[in-house]
Amino acid sequence: MPTSMPLQAYLVLAAVLFAIGLFGVVTRRNTIGILLGIELMLNSVNINLVAFARFAGDTAGLVFTVFTISITVAEVALGLALVILIFRVRRTAVADHLDLLQG
Amino acid sequence: MTADPGTLAALALLLPAASFLLLAVAFPLRRSGRAAGLVSVLCSAGALAAALGAWARQTPEGMTRIVYEWIPQEAGSLATVGVLADADSTIMLVLVALVSFLVQVYSLGYLDAEPRPALGRYYTYQSLFAFSMMGVVLAPGFLQLFIFWELVGLCSYLLIGYWYERPEAARAAVKAFWITKAGDVGLLIGIVLLWYRAGTFDFLEIYDLVRAGQLSVAGLGLVTFCLYLGAMGKSAQFPLHVWLPDAMEGPTPVSALIHAATMVTAGVYLLRRTIWLFALTPDVLQLIGWIGAFTALLAAVLACVQSDIKRVLAYSTVSQLGYMMTAMGAGFAAAGFLHLLTHGVFKALLFLGAGAVIHAVGSNDIYHMGGLRRAMPQTHIVFVVGTLSLAGIPLFGGFYSKEEILGAVWSGGLVWPFWMLVLAAFLTAFYMFRVVFIAFWGERHAGGHGAAHGHEGGHLHDAPAVMSVPLWILAALSVGIGIYFVRHHGEPEFTAPGWLTPLAVGVAVGGIVLAWLTYQARVVSADDLARAFAPIRRAALARFWLDDFFEGLYRGVLLGLSRLAGWVDRYLVDGLVNVFSAWTLTWGDRLRRIQSGLPQDYVYGLAVGLLLLLIWVQWPR
């Protein structure tokens, strides 16, 4: 064990990161900002996975993390493409203007 | 080939059914008119031959049953369908097949000018009627009887409304259907009540129960009364007789077949079939006798003031049905049944004769006729034969059956109904000879056959052979039955008093003489007669206000109920639904507003919800 930091420290880091990401998603006006928030939340999950894998001595969690990162890349690409398309159609990328689903 | 009566009767039943199905399905054949008529006539000729064969092979005591199980249940079956051939049903079958055949032949001439599709439709209905009526006659149980009973009612409706473009005909058809239906509801209730008590619909099984004394008499009166209601509607007994005169809006051959000879006698036939059941409830029988006699007298009075030849005959039919019912009520069903048979023959003859006159003159009104004796000698002879038979003159068929009925009613102890029937017999002779003297004798009325009636120059002539031959056959039968009874006077069920025959002949001759004095010799003034009986005459012209009464009943009760139901539906039922729908709309509108359409709001809601869930799960308890 290279360090004596307990598991809880990693989990608190992940929780803080998740909360920051969620805050970004809920409050940012710009859709790209929202995407960044989502990335933060995903990475907090990755930290959780890696930490549990390390402390349980099971490498499966590490492998899954690699998968998650690669899928995240695809998700970001898709999300950015959506944002660009929305901008082309609506001439805006501000989330408050995208309220077509209003009841 | 030897066949038992049951098989032949079944054949007679199925031939018109085959004809009906063929005409109903093969519409090019139906639309061809005359060819459809020929198919129907051929099938009814076959049915007549089969019916005659069944009758000839039938012994007085014999009985053939061809029945099939229907509606299977765990123990046996609910009902039987098939054919029950015995002495009564085979002779009735012959009557139905004979009149049906003759009427169909006659119609080829009578409805010659009809458009071809309409003629095909007419013959389709005729075939269906022949099938249905034979089904009633041959039914082995109440359930089959009821089904065919309704079918003949349907045919009656369809054929009365044959000229459905005419509003009167359409209205008369609906009226006939509704009023007979009112009686049929009673019949259905009676059948179900009887089934509840006896556990079967089958005539023979119920008969065995009755003979073994296993059918409890208590409360049976309600059952027989309900059954009688059905007979009352079909056989036009007071007060449900009002449909029959209006049914004359149909073509005359239809009136002859359905509304004189066969369908209207179904009620009498039902009583004949089940008289052993009615015998258990003497009160109901007494009621039947009284209503029958009252109907006979009332209708005879009504017939005296009519100037429409078909309506005279229609009221006469009601009156004669009253005779038959009175005989049933006296407990002597055979006498009533005999009158049913002879009446079927001579009344069909009278109607077809009247049809020949109407066909030639182009009007139903007897005052538009007159002097037809010279213009239409053949029709005159057969009509007088029918009239003499109806009036009850010896040597003619109607005399013997009417005398049987009078004797039966006297022996049955119904004294007042007896005298009502005697008075009705007097009136019968009077109103029938009134028609004969006005329409066939007397002077030709100048305005009668003018251009208005489509006979320029008034060259009236007898009907063509296709119409006159059936008339002659029926006339020969009317006389033949009379002569048969002279030679084979069977042992009656009762002993009639010796003064009965002179009385019966006396009132008939008296009626004829009065009619002659009034309308031919003009010794008695018709106006004086009208004045002498002014109140009765006025009442009769208003049909004793019965139609008004029914109409008022309909308007007051039925329409009133409908309005009430409409109000309840509109304001109570609909109101409740409207309240619910308004409530749903309001709350839907309120809930709508929390849908902002902004994704971030949804994410926020999701996060808060998840947080609350986590808190709830982790909450120490």
- Please state the three-class secondary structure of B52-63 as a single string: HHHHHHCCCCCE
- Kindly report, residue by residue over B263-299, the tens digit of the pLDDT: 899 999 999 989 988 888 888 999 999 999 999 999 9
A103, B603: Cβ pair inside 8 Å? no
The answer to whether position A47 is within a domain reads yes
Question: Which residue would you say has higher pLDDT here, B528 or B313?
Answer: B313
The confidence score (pLDDT) of residue B452 equals 41
CB atoms within 10 A of CB A98: 16
The confidence score (pLDDT) of residue B478 equals 87
Chain A hits for B596, CB-CB cut-off 8 Å, are 99, 102-103
Distances (CA, A) of B458 to B279, B362, B364: 57, 11, 16
The confidence score (pLDDT) of residue B454 equals 44
The answer to whether position A99 is within a domain reads no
**CATH number of the domain within which A90 lies:** 1.10.287.3510
| Cβ(B352)–Cβ(B100) below 8 Å | no
The confidence score (pLDDT) of residue B445 equals 60
| Cβ(B203)–Cβ(B274) below 8 Å | yes
Across the interface, of A27, A34, A101, the residue whose CB is closest to B595 is A101
- Kindly report, residue by residue over B60-117, the tens digit of the pLDDT: 888 888 888 887 777 777 788 888 888 888 889 999 999 999 999 999 888 888 888 8
The confidence score (pLDDT) of residue B492 equals 63
Is the confidence at residue A14, as pLDDT, over 50? yes
CB pairs under 8 A between A and B: 34
Chain A hits for B589, CB-CB cut-off 8 Å, are none
pLDDT bucket at B455, cuts 50 / 70 / 90: very low
Distance CA B458, CA B447 (A): 10
- This model of the complex carries an ipTM of 0.83
Output the pTM of the full model: 0.75
The answer to whether position A11 is within a domain reads yes
* Continuous H helices in B275-414: 275-278, 282-304, 309-329, 333-361, 372-375, 377-391, 397-411
Name the interface residues of A facing B (CB cutoff 8 Å).
Answer: 22, 25-27, 34, 95-96, 98-103
The confidence score (pLDDT) of residue B97 equals 92
Distance CA B180, CA B167 (A): 20
The answer to whether position A80 is within a domain reads yes
Chain B hits for A99, CB-CB cut-off 8 Å, are 596-598
Is the confidence at residue B490, as pLDDT, over 70? no
Distance CA B156, CA B134 (A): 14
How many domains are contained in chain A?
A: 1
| DSSP assignment string, B549-599 | HHHHHIIIIIIHHHHHHHHIIIIIIHHHHHHHHHHHHHHHHHHHTT----H
Paired residues of B202 in beta bridges: B141
Is the confidence at residue B493, as pLDDT, over 70? no
B596, A99: Cβ pair inside 8 Å? yes
Q: Is B501 in a helix, a strand, or coil?
A: helix
B597, A34: Cβ pair inside 8 Å? no
Provide the Cα torsion B479, B481, B483, B487; round to 10°. 180
The answer to whether position A54 is within a domain reads yes
The confidence score (pLDDT) of residue B64 equals 85
Is the confidence at residue B459, as pLDDT, over 80? no
Is the confidence at residue B451, as pLDDT, over 80? no
How far off is chain B from A28, nearest CA to CA, in Å?
9
A103, B604: Cβ pair inside 8 Å? no
What is the rounded average pLDDT of the residues B395-412?
86
Most confident region among A89-103, B545-559, B581-595 by mean pLDDT: B581-595
A25, B603: Cβ pair inside 8 Å? yes
Is the confidence at residue B34, as pLDDT, over 70? yes
The answer to whether position A90 is within a domain reads yes
Chain A hits for B593, CB-CB cut-off 8 Å, are 103
Distance CA B387, CA B378 (A): 14
Q: Is the peptide bond before B239 cis (omega within 30 degrees of 0)?
A: yes
Is the confidence at residue A2, as pLDDT, over 60? no
Contact of B621 with chain A, judged by CB distance below 8 Å, is answered with: no
A102, B594: Cβ pair inside 8 Å? no
For residue B107, with 0-12 CB atoms within 10 Å meaning exposed, 13-18 middle and 19 or more buried, which class applies?
buried
Enumerate residues 576 to 615 of chain B having a beta carbon within 8 A of any beta carbon in chain A. Answer: 591-600, 603-604, 607
Q: Residue B23 contacts by C-beta under 8 Å, 6 or more apart in sequence?
A: B29, B30, B36, B39, B40, B120, B123, B124, B127
Chain B hits for A95, CB-CB cut-off 8 Å, are 598-600
- Kindly report, residue by residue over B155-182, the tens digit of the pLDDT: 999 999 898 888 889 989 998 998 899 8
- Kindly report, residue by residue over A44-64, the tens digit of the pLDDT: 999 999 999 988 888 888 898
B522 membership: H or E segment, kind and range: none
Structural domain harbouring A72: 7-94
The confidence score (pLDDT) of residue A70 equals 92
Distance CA B107, CA B384 (A): 22
Query: Which chain B residue is nearest to residue A28, measuring alpha carbons?
Result: B600
A95, B599: Cβ pair inside 8 Å? yes
| Cβ(B154)–Cβ(B81) below 8 Å | no
Q: What is the CA radius of gyration of chain B?
A: 30
How far off is chain A from B181, nearest CA to CA, in Å?
58
The answer to whether position A101 is within a domain reads no
